[in-house]
Amino acid sequence: MPLIEEKYRPVAQMLLSSGTCPRCVLRFCCVGTYSPYRLPYKDLDGEMQTYVAVSPGDTADPRWVPPCKKAKLDISIENPGDNFLIDSSQLNDKNDAPSLRSCNLCLGILQDLSEADFIKEIFQTVNSAGYEFKDFVFSVSLPAQMSVREHSTWLQAKQEMGKHGHPFEKTDVIQLKEAYKWITHPLIAEELGVQAVSKSSFEVAVVFAHPETDGDCHFLAKTCKDCFKPTKNKLSVFTRMAVIKALEKIKEEEFCASFSYPPQCPVTVCKVVDLQCSHASVFVAGRYNKYSRNLPQTPWVIDGERKMESSVEELITEHLMAVFKADSFNFSSSGREDVDVRTLGKGRPFAIELVNPHRVQFNVQDMKELQKKINSSDKIKVRDLQIVTREAVAHMKEGEEVKTKCYSALIWTEKVIQEEELQALDHTKELKIAQKTPLRVLHRRPLASRLRVIHSMRAEYVDEHHFRLYLKTQAGTYIKEFVHGDFGRTRPNLGSMMKTTADILELDVESVDVDWPPALDD
């Protein structure tokens, strides 16, 4: 059974005679099943040569090979013209066969870089990286100039097919990445012992480059200037997407005048400029209590100088980073407390993104043991420690400013406290206040006026100048400023309500009313 449909025979003959490898011939002959691509390279080449040499119903010398101007060997031609004969005894090595040299389309990727030696190199890289994974996705980054070469070839193939009344769309061509994965997926999967899938948390990525042909796409910058704009993170303007955009825009006659067919066969093959593994981030969530009045939530560094020995973030993440073997992390929480404020009750929800973790397989008992390690500190405690999804983390921030928080504060007043004043506070409900950005945070937050609501208050007398105030407020309310007024930047404030100077001596967060993450059984 022939590998390709008969109507594509002229295309196959054209491509082979120009220096295209048999696997790229399959692609441009629209062979959409993976089995022919997985044939041993020499077997596939032999079948391809026989196919193009023999017309239906004819017999011909199976050693026939289409002529090629770029052949590396000095081969004597018996009959100059359309055909020449090669003594098969001369073809002792892959590199000795003109039909097996570096392809002018894939630049060697479907030849040398899909063979067993390269697959073993991939396996060694993955194996030495020390990741845990249950499957993998294989991603390939190709040189941009391949798109130019394929565009040129497609235009010629379309013209050839048109001579015989057959349409030929660019989308009919099998993508190089697709063919490459058809060949390599089972080989890599066999080495790694897990399956290749279309979506996976674990990625094996290879980046190819071909410096010899980098200039192939430079002419597009003259005809499609607006497609190539410098960016900070790109070393070259000739990215694959920019080149594809330019090819969609340029007229066929203009392209053919600038880039002739067939593309030159390169002397070198593609080289691997990057081969690496990475694992998608893992998200760990929980709630923390803070018992120290000398502990910031995150590292406190001013002008490069550290102000506090540690932080809530560090006390939690030092254990997570060690166990998950992650490269870095991102810490977030439902609000934050000041360095001198304790967080009590069920604690404050937090989430930590662990970037590129190497260890990811944890069960419930593992997480309990990890929680126990974190709780060895007397400054903080965590609860409900669990692995969550990226999407679940968004729940922590949803409607954050309409959530409520409860506080307790020890208040000092300049004048002697009257019982009726405390009773008045007890009866205050849904008090609306306007708060300008506090002076103490103005260096890191924009100046704005925010409307907040004190839902309820309850006062407990301590002595003539002190009382404890329990508040339930809208999230985002600055409690300290509500008490002392921040030089009139918060109105009304506790001092103005009691007609005295008031200040806050101690503040505790009693509850953060966010129903996340899900509570776990101890």
Residue 363 has pLDDT above 80, yes or no: yes
As a whole number of angstroms, the distance between CA 479 and CA 488 comes to 14
Contacts by 119-123, CB closer than 8 A, 24 or more apart? 119/184, 119/187, 119/188, 119/191, 120/191, 121/275, 122/188, 122/191, 122/204, 122/206, 122/275, 123/188, 123/191, 123/192
Strand 195-196 and strand 135-141: the pairing is parallel
Mean pLDDT across the chain, nearest whole number? 89
**How many CB atoms are closer than 10 A to CB 23?**
29
Tokens of 26: 């399959």
Alpha-carbon distance 434 to 418, whole Å?
A: 26
Question: pLDDT of 32-90, one tens digit each?
Answer: 999 999 999 999 999 998 888 866 554 443 333 343 433 333 322 233 233 322 232 33
Amino acid at 315: L
The pLDDT assigned to 11 comes to 96
Q: What percent of the chain has pLDDT over 70?
A: 89
Q: Give the pLDDT band (50/70/90) at residue 2.
A: low
Mean pLDDT within 331-336: 94
> Is there a cis peptide before residue 262, judged by omega within 30 degrees of 0?
yes
Bridge partners of residue 411, in order along the sequence: 467, 504
Token output for 1: 């059974």
43 is catalytic: no
Question: What SS3 state is found at 84?
Answer: strand
Interval 199-203 mean pLDDT: 97
CA distances from 181 to 36, 110, 144, 342, 485 (A): 13, 10, 18, 55, 66
Both structure tokens of 474: 């809208």
Q: What is the reported pLDDT for 308?
A: 87
SS (H, E, C) 34-60: CHHHHCCHHHHHHHHHHHHHCCCCCCC
Which tens digits make up the pLDDT trace of 103-160? 999 999 999 899 999 999 999 999 999 999 999 999 999 999 999 999 999 999 999 9
Given the residues 135, 327, 338, 340, the one annotated as active site: 338
pLDDT band at 486 (very low <50, low <70, confident <90, very high): very high
The pLDDT assigned to 70 comes to 36
Distances (CA, A) of 135 to 124, 207, 428: 16, 20, 59
Distance of alpha carbon 71 from alpha carbon 18, whole angstroms: 10
pLDDT in tens, 271-325: 999 999 999 999 999 999 999 999 999 998 888 888 888 999 999 999 999 999 9
pLDDT of residue 362: 96
Residues whose CB is less than 8 angstroms from the CB of residue 129 and which lie 6 or more positions away in sequence, other chains included: 276, 277, 358
